[in-house]
Amino acid sequence: MPNRVKRQIKRFPQNDCGRILKVLREFEADPWQGDIAKTDHGENTWRRRVGNYRIIYFVSINLRLIEIKEICRRTSSTY
């Protein structure tokens, strides 16, 4: 996980931080579960909704890699 994303998580309220970290651990088993949607940010880039937050991530099936791009609070200008 990039340092930028780690800093973002630290700024969130503790309850929200716990929920987000739980979802990130679930990605290891199945990145396709939950409220997900494909984004316009590029091929194989997805968005997962966690309450008021959005996790933007990239999935490389060939490399078996999930890269967290950004975690942000949903606002009218998030996308």
**Count of CA atoms in the C-beta half-sphere (13 A) of 68:** 23
Q: Is 38 exposed, middle or buried (0-12, 13-18, 19+ CB in 10 A)?
A: exposed
Integer CA distances (angstroms), 12 to 15, 18, 29, 30, in order: 8, 9, 24, 24
**What residues form DSSP beta bridges with 70?**
56
Q: Look at residue 58 in the predicted model and tell me its pLDDT.
A: 93
Q: Is the residue at 31 inside a domain?
A: yes
Condensed to tens digits (0 to 9), the pLDDT of residues 3-55 reads 888 888 888 898 899 999 999 999 888 888 989 999 887 788 999 999 999 99
Q: Is the residue at 12 inside a domain?
A: yes
Domain count, the chain: 1
**What is the longest distance spanned by two Cα atoms in the chain?**
35
Range of the domain at 28: 3-73
Q: Is the residue at 79 inside a domain?
A: no
Q: Is the residue at 78 inside a domain?
A: no
CATH number, residue 60: 3.30.2310.20
Q: Is the residue at 38 inside a domain?
A: yes
Lowest mean pLDDT across 50-54, 61-65, 75-79? 75-79
Q: Look at residue 76 in the predicted model and tell me its pLDDT.
A: 64
